Structure 1
């Protein structure tokens, strides 16, 4: 992703300095990882680490201190949930980061050194730079335990091209400059990937190519040359057993620059459509497909995906109460499949579910649930009966049920979908 004119660049710099995208935690970011209610051992999570520049950070035009990013990283995380994975993620994207800066940051992480922002790159634009750059120990730990590492980098390397164009540089001078930058990019990128691989040789590593948001031949040519350098690096790494996969973002943006970016508002970053396109490119590279839920019927408030499979259409669709998810008892038991058993007591108006070595008892309108013979106060509204057609259906609080059974439950408001993974 390349820079625009000085005016547009200064506008971005100002907006970047007035907001904080997200506070990065040890694991989870915006992952909303559910805490297990039981002390029994849980499967290892599928860990995603995101590295790179503002595209990884999820920056888009108009962000404020109250904005929550929904960039390609968040969509990769959602796709992991769609594939039945107990996913969580850590996002270390830094606004304005160049390839050399990422190289130096990762070298410090690998060496166990703490660095300051100016030691990796002068005048970083990200208001979170002290926090992000200062946590090299946590970054190294995250990389070492990752199953998937995704990154974007390289667009900021060519920021001076626009300045040279505005200053009247000849095409030959610009071409010479771009070639010098790309040669250095190639060296820095290869060092960066080798450092990541040394920290974690087993993680799947996927990087995006770059799109050009402005219809200028020199920038279009630069994007093509950058992709060529990326391919060369990937090929050399492959001979040493390091697999770097490339997500083809550029082809999706070509012809859709105005539609997929905020260039009309003076900002070259992707908008929601652009980040969705990036998410699709990454998902197809990682898993070979891109998944969505079925269109919901009128009156249906949410979708539920269990172990990678969406609940079948039902006369008793999932509902939200007090911002909590509830599902029809029989539907969720059927979705869990073999091993899940259900019994209903008319006398006590209670449902007993056994699964995965646990037994959970819900009573209609009770503020308590019994988990493995222990009475626990619900943090959600209680189970209830809801009349659908001529019969009443028992609805259970999804989070309480899933956690009590040792499952991971994650609700994504962006998709109006709850994911339950075993």
Structure 2
């Protein structure tokens, strides 16, 4: 590991030196400082001799790289020079390609492999993934988890963190993100007095961690505003006049506008290059109640509440559009995802409103996840329907392994056909028929599996398997070698993620 770090540091140092040399050449040209004729001629003779020896190797090196950084650097920096200075510069480039290109290619590939797609979730209980009946031990499977799974389906090496809070209002949203932006330590009473989320103190005390996560985010997903309207509904009684309702609503909408605007300013200041997606608000109360194919009108009180909520949601969603448009005008990549649309006509199925709870059910969160994902990636992916004898789906870089080569299970470990998995990864495979050994090379790692052996060779070192050994699987006349998926992926430095909710394994 230390040698690899030294190598990568050396590669970066070489490129930095070349950049400094060429910028000095441009300064020399600007001040008309030129080498004398004889010195220049001797220099050219020496360099041309070296070029003749290494010319073919140089061309080969260039062809092996899709975007050689030194060539791109030549286009950007050296093209500004002229005459003999450009010739000198080109010679430096040739030498640089010979010395640095192989190492730079390795360093760039390693850096690309190490990069991951960071998702940050912010907001209220909808982003938490809360469902009716949840307690402190419940594990959410909300829209955020669906977005994360879709990132894996897209072939991204995705990770996510969720800093959302039950009961958070737009003002609390702005207070929390403002503290994160300013690097301040805050408590629940500073953010939103009376917040009842049992995780609240832990999340709110970590404003530095929240800020770091946001700074490194590629995608930030949010829901906020529902609790602002719940606060209005809680103040309305049977004696509240329409005028009083309107005043309560306008006060709540003003607070929503202030809080959301300030919150977005804080989070976009921390991550100006991230992609932001925020949801509109859905209507949880159905227009009618359907039982056994028969539709019944809502009771009068419920009908009046629904009418008021429709008006409130319409105005809040218009405020959201205005705020997002202003944020987008500042150069921020931000979009609204219309999660309200799939809920229309399916309120009783997609929410727990029948239990006087407006939160989505699992089906509702799945619908939100589809809407978010379609906004982000313009599509929503899923694995094929598996036969009963196939335990899991295997998705590599966004593509599912062929149905003709399904995964199998041995001692609760997933095994996959050798040729299919190495082709999907893009690894080099060498099969030694004599000793029945498969050697897989990828990402500067080599792993050798021998049929029936309890050990493997990893980069030349013997290691004991923590799973059953590789084996031959016969299906009629066909015979395939199966390898332990987790061992192969981990030893090659790949991300392996198992999602029990989908019964799918993702390799990215």
Give the TM-score category using the shorter length: 0.7 to 0.9
Structure 1 residue 362: Cα displacement = 1.0
Task: State the alpha-carbon separation in 1 of the partners of residues 229 and 166 from structure 2.
Answer: 15
Distance 1:66 1:147 in 2: 30
Matched, 1:71 2:146: no
Aligned counterpart for 1:160 among listed residues 209, 228, 231 = 231
Which residue does the alignment assign to 2:402? Answer: 312
Establish whether residue 178 from structure 1 lines up as the match of residue 249 from structure 2. yes
The answer (yes or no) to whether the contact 2:123–2:168 under 8 Å persists in 1 is: yes
The Cα of 1:209 is off from its aligned counterpart by 0.6
1:6 is matched with which residue? none
1:23 corresponds to: none
CA drift of 1:397 comes to 1.1
Distance 2:138 2:450 in 1: 39
2:133 to 59, 62, 72: 62
Could you say if the C-alpha distance between residues 292 and 344 of structure 1 is closer, same or farther in structure 2, counting changes exceeding 3 Å? same
Is structure 2 residue 392 aligned with structure 1 residue 321? no
Match of 2:332 in 1: 242
| Residues in 2 aligned to 1:62 and 1:345: alpha-carbon distance in whole angstroms | 57
Distance 2:127 2:172 in 1: 15
- Please give the per-residue CA displacement for 1:108-131, whole angstroms capped at 9, x wherever unaligned: 111111111111111112111110
Match of 1:24 in 2: none
> Which segment is superposed worse, 48-57 or 399-408?
399-408
Q: State which drifts further: 396-405 or 320-329.
A: 320-329
1:388 aligns with 2:475: yes
Aligned to 2:353: 263
Contact 1:109 1:136 in 2 (8 A): yes
Which structure has the greater CA radius of gyration?
A: 2
1:193 aligns with 2:264: yes
Query: Counterparts of 1:313 and 1:93 in 2: how far apart (Å)?
Result: 39
Distance in 1 between residues matched to 2:479 and 2:486, nearest whole Å = 22
Change (3 A) 1:67 1:387: farther
Q: Structure 2 regions of 5+ residues with no counterpart?
A: 1-109, 287-305
Higher alpha-carbon deviation: 284-293 or 328-337: 328-337
The one of 319, 343, 360 aligned to 1:253: 343
Q: Is the 8 A contact 2:451 2:471 kept in 1?
A: yes
Higher deviation after alignment, 87-96 or 231-240: 231-240
> Once the 2 structures are TM-superposed, how far is the Cα of residue 132 of structure 1 from its aligned partner?
0.7
Structure 1 counterpart of 2:168: 97
Contact 2:136 2:198 in 1 (8 A): no
1:134 aligns with 2:205: yes
Q: Show the counterpart of 1:281.
A: 371
Secondary structure at the residue paired with 1:222? helix
Question: What is the SS of the residue equivalent to 1:268?
Answer: strand
Asked if the contact 2:274/2:333 (under 8 Å) is kept, the reply is no
Aligned positions, number: 380
**Partner Cα distance (2:355, 2:463) in 1:** 52
The Cα of 1:221 is off from its aligned counterpart by: 1.6
Point out which structure has higher relative CO (alpha carbons under 8 A, 6+ apart).
Answer: 1
**In 2, distance between residues paired with 1:160 and 1:200?**
31
CA distance in 2: counterparts of 1:382 and 1:267, whole angstroms: 51
Matches within 5 A, 1:289-304: 289-304=379-394
Matches of 1:150 and 1:141 in 2, distance apart?
Answer: 16
Distance in 2, matches of 1:211 and 1:229, equals: 15
1:202-217 pair list within 5 angstroms: 202-215=273-286, 216-217=306-307
User: Quick check: 1:234–1:243 contact (8 Å CA) kept in 2?
Assistant: no
Q: Which runs of 5+ in 1 are unaligned?
A: 1-38
Q: Tell me the distance in 1 between the aligned counterparts of 2:129 and 2:367.
A: 13
- Contact 1:197–1:242 under 8 Å retained in 2: yes
* Higher helix residue share: 2
User: 1:31 corresponds to which residue?
Assistant: none
Pairing 1:360–2:360 present: no
Q: Work out the CA distance in 1 between the residues paired with 2:332 and 2:423.
A: 43
Deviations 1:317-338 (A, max 9, x none): 112333332111111122224x
- Shift of residue 305 of structure 1? 1.1
CA distance in 2 between partners of 1:67 and 1:377 (Å)? 37
- RMSD over equivalenced CA pairs, Å: 1.7
The residue aligned with 2:100 is none
The worse-fitting range, judged by mean Cα deviation, of 385-394 and 197-206 is: 385-394
Tell whether the 8 Å contact from 1:207 to 1:246 is kept in structure 2 after alignment. Answer: yes
Q: Residue 256 of structure 2 aligns to a residue in which SS?
A: helix
